[in-house]
Chain A
Amino acid sequence: MSTDTRADEGGSLLARPLNWLETQSEEVYAYVLLTPAFALLALVAFYPLIETFRFSLLADAVASADPFGEFIGLGNYVDLLTADTNFTQQFISVTLTDSFPFVAFGAPFLQQAIFVTLAFAILSVLFETTIGFGQALVLDQDFYGRRWVRVSIIIPWAIPIVIQGMIFFLIFNPTIGFGTEFMQWLGVFGNNPLSSSTDSFLIVLVADIWKTTAFMALLILAGLQSIDRGLYDVAEVSGASPWQRFRYITLPLVAPALLVAMLFRTMDAMRIYGLIDATAGCETVPSLTCLVIIALQNSRRWATASAVAFLTAVVISGFVVVYLIALRNSEGGVA
């Protein structure tokens, strides 16, 4: 391949670079073809990530034209983590902190945000995995109309986040929705759930489970379908009950796919923003990404926002590392 001497029929503007490409080794050819992808990733991901980190080391300059002040090292992080800044009082009302039962009284905003994000990620992934497993087991059967059941299970996954938010915003709207009344009847919700942190957290959780369970179901289904059906026949012949077949064949063999799916979902859940913004609003259920936007838009604290953004990335990377180690231990690694 590298000793190619064929000349392209000239004339077009493309001919020269194409001819040059023909004469290069496979390695050079590979790098050339990768250039556009990496240029795009560099512009949108690598460069901004480094810039975010650099910004986070600068001071806030709320009043001046340039929102960044002088270099202050890790000061923003220290202030954030120890809550020395008046960051807390800036956008969060005291009543909100009172009514939030999960965290300590008067907890700083960042700690609330970290708590909300982690609690949301863990709870949503847990529920989505369980329900998704159920859906996958249903989809794994052969039955009449399976195609349409699959379509209707996938559809929530495919709808825009803003519409997902709208649906749950309307359901739990006190005047028109039925959700508030129902939950009050159960004795869980207050009068206006979308302005109470706890109730909104539950709404956001349910909305997310409704939408993304399908994603888990599809990934688990792929794992299920890769299992050798012969194993089930053997188990049936030797007298295993359906539960035993599930426990000793399905579960261990599907575990690697399950872990990968959970990894994807966890990363995704920790970025939660749009759903909150479209239902309860960022001040009611502060996630980490919400905090970035609040700091940017409400108070023009660009450097603090950068620090929060970078912190979010660090927290997510931490989770990814934990998962990858678990994955390596469980099945001798993937990829």
Chain B
Amino acid sequence: MTDRSTEPGDELTPGADETTLEAAPDGGVADAETVDQPVVNPTADEPDLDRGLIAAWAAKMITNPDRAYRASFYVATIFFLVTTLFPFYWLFVVAVTPRNNLSEVGVFIPAGFNPAAFIEVFTTLPFHRYVFNSFLIATIATVAVLLVGSLAGYVFGRLRFRGRNVMLLLVLVTSFFPPAAFFIPLNRLFNTNVDVLRPLLSAGSLYNTPYAIFIPLSAIFLPLSIFILMTFYSQIPDGLEDAARVEGTTRIGALFRVIVPLSAPGVATAGVLTFISVYNEYFFSSLMTDGRPGSWAPMLEGILRFQGEFEVLYNLMAAASIVAVLPVAILVVVAQEKIVSGLTTGAVKE
């Protein structure tokens, strides 16, 4: 086994260090296309040596390291797939197991089959209302972020003015701080009764309204969108904007009629990321309402509510989780390119 690998190594790579040894047949040959020839020859006399199955496999790996790398690539891919997807499968296993059999639930097979859990989720609690609340909050926040972020992204991406870098840094800094550092004053602010709001909101305070969640979340996820939009807007050629201005639109008109439509992929990216982030958020979502569906409590309160007073409804928790994860899962499948490009531009731009 070892002589097989050292033999070509001795001939071909005089200056080999410890790593070139195993790569010798591949590395010693100048043209990548001819790599196969020297590999075929040593393997031809393989049966003579009468190796065991594993030894033969190992020898093959050593004489042809590319093969070993490809094998490890497949092993890694399968490993990653299993580790990321298995928890979802197991969630499904728990969800379809009838409640009485839950202690016998296995790792791979459910103990019984009870798809009715997916209907029970909505009858035990108004879970659809919780999901609707989350959807509404995420949608409003996305629209607000895109609108405000478009203006700011346009300014940072296309205009030159004094204080630009300082202001950009200020935006960046806000995304560094933990939400906990903002929470106490905001909680106080949203709990104070403002008489002006009385006609609009029954209690006169923002607590237990969608505003209490989407206002902080819009601000917290605004910096990322500003960076994404800034990148996309700065890539539109100046000539297009000038042409629109000559044609007679206003400055704002040029932004929303030319720049934004031309940067549609960027806008979609920022929108998808904001929606997912707001939908997934935990801190403000769990603290800004009292948890009742009528108080605009988001989906997370619904899932936690299945830990009822008398009995923890594990199978319903699992079923509710699957129901609530579907929208984002679909969004990921549909918009994965956007997510990837958004996360990376957001980070590369710092």
Which residues from chain A sit less than 8 Å from chain B, CB to CB?
1, 4, 6, 8, 18, 21-22, 26-27, 29-31, 33-34, 36-38, 40-41, 43-49, 51-52, 55, 134-135, 137-138, 141, 143, 147, 149-156, 158-163, 166-168, 170-171, 173, 175-176, 178, 210, 214-215, 218-219, 221-222, 236-237, 239-244, 257, 260-261, 264, 267, 270-271, 273-275, 277-278, 288-289, 292-293, 296, 302, 305-306, 308-310, 312-313, 316-317, 320, 334-335
Interface of B is mostly: helix
Alpha-carbon gap, A22 to B255, bound state (A): 13
Q: In the complex, which of the residues B26, B170, B174, B184 contacts A55, with contact meaning CB atoms closer than 8 Å?
A: B184
Whether B28 and A239, one on each chain, are in contact in the complex, defined by CB atoms closer than 8 angstroms, is yes
Alpha-carbon gap, A273 to B90, bound state (A): 25
Q: In the complex, which of the residues A48, A138, A160, A334 contacts B299, with contact meaning CB atoms closer than 8 Å?
A: A160
Which residues from chain B sit less than 8 Å from chain A, CB to CB?
13, 19-20, 22-23, 26-28, 30, 32, 65-66, 69, 73, 76-77, 80-81, 83-85, 87-88, 90-91, 94, 102-103, 105-107, 147-149, 151-152, 154-155, 159-162, 164, 167, 170-171, 174, 176-187, 189, 215-216, 218-220, 222, 226, 245, 248, 250-252, 276, 279-283, 286-287, 299-300, 303-304, 314, 317-318, 321, 324-325, 328-329, 331-333, 336, 339-340, 343-344, 347-350
Question: Which chain B residue lies CB-closest to A175?
Answer: B103
5 sample A-B contacts, Cβ–Cβ < 8 Å, listed by A number: A33-B155, A152-B84, A160-B282, A241-B20, A289-B178
Alpha-carbon gap, A168 to B105, bound state (A): 15
Q: Given that A160-B279, A277-B282 are known contacts, is A26 also in contact with B181, CB under 8 Å in the complex? A: no
Alpha-carbon gap, A73 to B161, bound state (A): 40
Alpha-carbon gap, A20 to B154, bound state (A): 19
Whether B282 and A161, one on each chain, are in contact in the complex, defined by CB atoms closer than 8 angstroms, is yes
Whether A166 and B178, one on each chain, are in contact in the complex, defined by CB atoms closer than 8 angstroms, is no
Q: In the complex, which of the residues B106, B152, B279, B347 contacts A260, with contact meaning CB atoms closer than 8 Å?
A: B347
Alpha-carbon gap, A260 to B347, bound state (A): 7
Q: In the complex, which of the residues B80, B161, B304 contacts A27, with contact meaning CB atoms closer than 8 Å?
A: B161
Q: Given that A43-B219, A52-B181 are known contacts, is A154 also in contact with B340, CB under 8 Å in the complex? A: yes
Alpha-carbon gap, A237 to B32, bound state (A): 7
Alpha-carbon gap, A116 to B152, bound state (A): 38
What is the distance, in angstroms, from A134's C-beta to the closest C-beta of chain B? Answer: 6
Q: Given that A21-B250, A30-B159, A176-B94 are known contacts, is A309 also in contact with B181, CB under 8 Å in the complex? A: yes
Alpha-carbon gap, A60 to B338, bound state (A): 48
Alpha-carbon gap, A128 to B162, bound state (A): 40
Whether A34 and B343, one on each chain, are in contact in the complex, defined by CB atoms closer than 8 angstroms, is no
* Apart from A30-B161, A271-B179, 7 more pairs, CB < 8 Å: A44-B215, A155-B332, A160-B282, A161-B280, A170-B90, A236-B32, A241-B65
Alpha-carbon gap, A237 to B180, bound state (A): 54
Question: Which chain A residue lies CB-closest to B322?
Answer: A163
Question: Which chain B residue lies CB-closest to A242?
Answer: B69
Which residues of A are found within 8 Å of B248, using beta-carbon distances?
6
Q: In the complex, which of the residues B88, B105, B350 contacts A334, with contact meaning CB atoms closer than 8 Å?
A: B350
Question: Which chain B residue lies CB-closest to A50?
Answer: B185
Whether A153 and B80, one on each chain, are in contact in the complex, defined by CB atoms closer than 8 angstroms, is yes
